Structure 1
């Protein structure tokens, strides 16, 4: 469990007017600036995220363009859009709730594919590399990939943009805490580790850059500040660094990666409470809830313009901006190359002027979620119960049925 991921977080009163970080000669506009050159041929570009900084979009674009990139001697060696299991394995992380724990074999297969690229330029992207727990793990990753050829790319977004996305992602992995309560714990309650110690490990970005700089050296790191107002900016930056033609990387729509609305997140959070309260196995959550109900709901339901979104209160926006200013200033002293405008990390976005409407789930959305779970469960053949259940307590009955469904799913 990470225990060094956050110092005292700045309060809202201290951060109402954060000062922009000082100008730095390493800061360059995206994607190119005076003296900025693409990475040398043969570089192994390692994109480590962190989470919620455009990783899914760039991974989808790289995977879709892998054949076209190969024509320009740039290889995407992963066999899927996101080599998540390989990154989790080398970082000794357990993976998503209820999923099988990744093994060294996943990391070994990625390395084999990378070695097959020879001296060509290659690119690997997984936000889970940002979860590397210590310098020794980072050193192993870099050494396995070929230290003399690795260049690390870190993408950053303002915390105000990351917090709601990361919270609802935690909800999709079993979190039961409401958004404002979660913000209170992450920003106000030292040591800022509960309920998700991974949050500041990933998103105290100055420390993330510092950890990787200690191992690979500042000259081998590029930090990209993503501008949400420039949708194609991140794609152009990857094209430039990899020496690819403009327009080769194109965003691929991915409904399965869309964020949940407030009502959807609250429905799932309440389900998580019932799930935990009845002691059901984690594997059942992975199969029926995350990969059944939630996946089907996201793939079949498009949020309406008037659906309530997850909104961050003003005090948290101001606190996030203050932390962003601190992080930008520290990164500016590390000697790494920074593309984009670090001042974006300390902007206080406008907050909602009125109280949000109560989150009410659309019956059609709820029906799609339930149907998704039923489809997964129906893949296993049903068998009659061996005994009657009239005398069984409801909580015990739910637990027993949950284990039976899980066994059937495993057999199928």
Structure 2
């Protein structure tokens, strides 16, 4: 079995999908370098864009993840067993990547480590500063169908954070801060028995810098320039005006009788149209009155992190939030109107395409009956 297992546990919005693309594209070359990244033959099922091990982890830890039902966990039991058999059937080093593992509590960490049964389990955490991560999380929240304002979203996070470390460590619903309070995350895994915890910082750009630091963290500096470096951006976020338009759309969709599947199709069409635009407006940023709070949170987390056994790869300055670098003005009415017009065009394109298909079906039926 693998004597050494490396767990890349995220966190979300820190370049995890990019790293997984690099790992998947270079799986064969990595084996020659002594590290195996298992790629399941059925990884492409569902909506995944890249192979990772999150769904398999549902089969072991199930409802430890707040968004996973018992039925969904049961569906993934065989996926977990396949992955575990793969890891245990081959010697050397195995690398698994699942950003959801950043939210699990200490008992679940013990279950995972016991199940893996390796002599060495190293943990790698990739991280960006809260001033970038929280806006990105909110716009992803909107892309998933919500309509809560950024102000209300941050207010909820603040209230949860103020309940303290015991709440974050034990309450199943406090999963966001369990991941994004980096000091607590590193200490939790270290206390649970990880042989080494590394925190890889990233400023976001250039992406190859993140890979180079990641290669250093997994003790593979010779792979700092992998044979294949994907150029496609797996996740392109929405801008501030686009997010506001989509949020309003989500609120309106809830007043209809559309199925969840149809609502998802509409959102996908609109976001695809947004991402094809040349001029899209400024990125999502926290409201000005929240900027100082985000900077304080980042400083608190950084101080906690520095008191853990975590090995830092990169620059700790990457984890600080500088409010002066954020857009000073909210989206203008004109920018919001332009994004709204693009959303309308996306919906018109869907409607026209459906009309054309229906017309062709009628023509085909007519020919078959004459």
TM-score, structure 1 normalization: 0.70
C-alpha contact (below 8 Å) 2:5/2:118 kept by paired residues: no
Equivalent pair of 2:10/2:99 in contact (CA under 8 Å): yes
Q: Number of matched residues?
A: 329
Q: Deviations over 1:170-210 (max 9, x none)?
A: 122232201122223323675599xx843223212222122
Q: Which runs of 5+ in 1 are unaligned?
A: 1-40, 381-412
Alignment-derived partner of residue 74 in structure 1: 35
Larger RCO: 1 or 2 (CA < 8 Å, sep 6+): 1
1:371–1:103 CA distance, 2 compared to 1 (3 A)? farther
- The CA distance in 1 between the partners of 2:3 and 2:352, in whole Å, is 49
Verify the 8 A CA contact 1:152 1:222 in the aligned structure 2: yes
Aligned to 1:63: 24
Partner of 2:157: 186
Q: Deviations over 1:91-137 (max 9, x none)?
A: 3236489x955532222222123223x112221111111121x2111
Task: Supply the distance in 2 between the matched residues of 1:124 and 1:313 (Cα, whole angstroms).
Answer: 37
* Paired residue secondary structure (1:124): strand
Matched with 1:269 is 247
Of 90, 97, 102, the residue aligned with 1:125 is 97
Is the contact between residue 88 and residue 128 of structure 1 (CA under 8 Å) also seen in structure 2?
no
Match of 2:321 in 1: 347
By how many angstroms is 1:62 displaced? 0.7
Counterparts of 1:251-330 in structure 2 under 5 Å? 251-254=229-232, 257-278=235-256, 284-285=259-260, 287-290=261-264, 292-299=265-272, 301-330=275-304
Instruction: Summarize deviations over 1:334-380 as a string: whole Å, max 9, x none.
Output: 22211122233223142323343132325344433565699899999
After TM superposition, list the pairs within 5 Å mapping 1:199-238 onto structure 2.
199-217=176-194, 219-238=195-214
Q: Is the 8 A contact 1:61 1:252 kept in 2?
A: yes
CA distance in 1: counterparts of 2:292 and 2:131, whole angstroms: 9
- Find the residue that maps to 1:91 and give its secondary structure: helix
1:369-380 matches, within 5 Å, as none
| CA offset digits 1:217-259 (Å, max 9, x no partner) | 4x41111122334432221123332424331065524455211
| Structure 2 alignment gaps of length 5 or more | 44-50, 359-370
Q: Secondary structure at the match of 2:223?
A: coil
Correspondence list, 1:380-391, <5 A:
none
Pick aligned residue for 1:87 from 46, 52, 57: 57
Q: 1:239 aligns with which of 187, 199, 215?
A: 215
Question: What SS is found at the alignment partner of 2:207?
Answer: coil
- Contact 2:239–2:280 under 8 Å retained in 1: no
Asked if the contact 2:58–2:77 (Cα under 8 Å) also holds between the matched residues in 1, the reply is no
Q: Which secondary structure state, in structure 2, belongs to the residue aligned with residue 184 of structure 1?
A: helix
